[in-house]
Amino acid sequence: MTVQGFTDQGSTTADNLIAGEFPRVSELATITGGNYARGTVLKDSSGSLTICGTSDTPEAILAEAVDATSEDKQAVVYLTGEFNSAALTVASGSTVAGLKAKLRAKSIFVKTNQAY
């Protein structure tokens, strides 16, 4: 029901990616190599960012879903912050736990919140 004088703006569903109040620094970056969900851990790949695996050095967390399968796209990424481990995505065969120390070195902190 909409209150008189107001317009229904729809609804939103929280994805539980953000896990704390540590300052989040974001920037626009070039994403390449796939169709990625919000919360994907990214690494540098020749000036563009792509999905990160355990043996890679993580650079950022994807702040919005982006499809860069057929061409590179611009998207917002987080360079710092606190994030829910259950909402993060890494390369196949890798784990968020395997990247936790490397992420911490970048001021990206992984916490365990309830699943979304």
Given a cut of 60, is residue 116 above it in pLDDT? no
Residue with tokens 């120390």: 101
The full 3-state SS of the chain, as one line of letters, equals CCCCCCCCCCCCCCCCCECCCCCCCEEEEEECCEEECCCEEEEEECCEEEECCCCCCEEEEECCCEEECCCCEEEEEECCEEEEHHHCECCCCCCHHHHHHHHHCCCEEEECCCCC
**CATH code assigned at 97:** 2.40.300.10
74 domain residue, yes or no: yes
8 domain residue, yes or no: no
Q: What mean pLDDT value characterizes the chain? A: 92
Residue 87: which domain range? 26-111
116 domain residue, yes or no: no
The pLDDT value recorded for residue 2 is: 58
pLDDT in tens, 64-94: 999 999 999 999 999 999 999 999 999 999 9
41-53: average pLDDT: 96
78 domain residue, yes or no: yes
The domain total for the chain is: 1
1 domain residue, yes or no: no
